[in-house]
């Protein structure tokens, strides 16, 4: 049972826009910024979004993040086949003194 | 090139011990925040432990009292001493670091597999 809640799966066709949600509580998302990680099949996770809406320079601007209250979202526009991966939200939890992750969302590009 | 390379994984019996290492190279700035994150094959990510500001450490409840995180700055290496291992500790263990914040990791290693089984 993950502290943060994500839908287990999402899908879209090439070119579409998809969003992935992440729900938490006041001790994590409600008071901290959210990070998103992309894990391509058979590889280690990579930081995709940090501080809720910032992208590392290597990440295309098709990826964007937002946060409101105790929820956050990852949006992917202009969906491409190489976006097929698992996506995890994460943040620091003050009550646990550590990171907490969502259970992950498997994105399928149809 | 910035790189993290984990080592030390393998097969160990329940109740046994193992020490993982993560060697960092190619970083031009000091790495202050170093974590271990694990993943049961086919499952999600689970944060294990963090060390920062030299000596501040935190652990997930699932490993507290059994695992110890440490670092050797002279060798740019992070360690995870794992004692009293249980079958549920079986996972790929990733080293994950950040140079700016304890709340994220912008560099990850390739992972090392730990299997706890008799």
pLDDT digits (tens, 9 = 90+) for A16-30: 999 999 999 999 999
Average pLDDT in the A89-106 region?
A: 95
Q: Which two tokens stand for residue B109?
A: 């290693």
Whose CA is closest to B91, among B61, B67, B115? B115
Name the CA dihedral angle for A1, B66, A36, A4, rounded to a multiple of 10 degrees: 20
Average pLDDT in the B81-94 region?
A: 98
Would you say residue B114 has pLDDT above 90?
yes
Query: Using alpha carbons only, how large is chain B's radius of gyration in Å?
Result: 13
- The A63-68 sheet, strands edge to edge: A18-23, A71-76, A63-68
Would you say residue B117 has pLDDT above 90?
yes
Nearest CA in chain B to A104: B44
Distances (CA, A) of B7 to A76, B63, B89, B111: 35, 19, 16, 8
Give residues 39 to 98 of B whose Cβ lies within 8 Å of A. Answer: 44-47, 49-50, 58-61, 94, 96
Would you say residue B93 has pLDDT above 90?
yes
- Is B52 within 8 Å of B66 (Cβ atoms)? no
Q: Residue B29: pLDDT band by 50, 70, 90 thresholds? A: confident
Average pLDDT in the A76-92 region?
A: 97
Chain B contact for A103 (CB, 8 A cutoff): yes
- Mean residue pLDDT across chain B: 96
Nearest CA in chain A to B50: A98
Per DSSP bridges, beta strands A9-12 and A105-109 are parallel
pLDDT value of residue A1: 85
Question: What is the 3-state secondary structure of B40-100?
Answer: CCCCCEEEEEEEECCCEEEECCCCCCCEEEEEEHHHCEEEEEECCCCHHHCEEEEEEEECC
Q: Provide the shortest C-alpha distance from residue B27 to chain A (in Å).
A: 17
Determine, for residues B96 and A45 on separate chains, whether the beta-carbon distance falls below 8 Å. yes
Determine, for residues B47 and A50 on separate chains, whether the beta-carbon distance falls below 8 Å. no
Average pLDDT in the B10-23 region?
A: 98
Average pLDDT in the B23-31 region?
A: 88
Determine, for residues B108 and A97 on separate chains, whether the beta-carbon distance falls below 8 Å. no
Determine, for residues B58 and A97 on separate chains, whether the beta-carbon distance falls below 8 Å. yes
Sign of the four-CA dihedral B80, B86, B87, B89: negative
Q: Provide the shortest C-alpha distance from residue B93 to chain A (in Å).
A: 10
Chain B contact for A101 (CB, 8 A cutoff): yes
């Amino acid at each position: 049972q993950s502290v943060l809640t994500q839908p287990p799966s999402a899908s879209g066709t090439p070119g579409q826009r998809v969003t992935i949600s992440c729900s938490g509580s006041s001790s994590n998302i409600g008071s901290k910024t959210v990070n998103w990680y992309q894990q391509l099949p058979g590889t280690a996770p990579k930081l995709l979004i940090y501080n809720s809406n910032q992208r590392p320079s290597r990440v295309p601007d098709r990826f964007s993040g937002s946060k409101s209250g105790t929820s956050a979202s990852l949006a992917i526009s202009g969906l491409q086949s190489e976006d097929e991966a698992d996506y995890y939200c994460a943040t620091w939890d003050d009550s646990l003194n550590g990171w907490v992750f969502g259970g992950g969302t498997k994105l399928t590009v149809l | 090139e910035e790189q993290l390379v984990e080592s030390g994984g393998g097969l160990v019996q329940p109740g046994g011990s193992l020490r993982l290492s993560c060697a960092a190279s190619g970083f031009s700035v000091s790495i202050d925040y170093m974590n271990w994150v694990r993943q049961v094959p086919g499952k999600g990510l689970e944060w294990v432990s963090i060390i920062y500001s030299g000596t501040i450490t935190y652990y997930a409840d699932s490993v507290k009292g059994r695992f110890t995180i440490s670092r050797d700055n002279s060798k740019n290496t992070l360690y995870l001493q794992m004692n009293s291992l249980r079958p549920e500790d079986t996972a790929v263990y990733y080293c994950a670091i950040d140079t700016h914040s304890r709340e994220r990791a912008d560099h990850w290693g390739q992972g090392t597999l730990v299997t706890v089984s008799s």
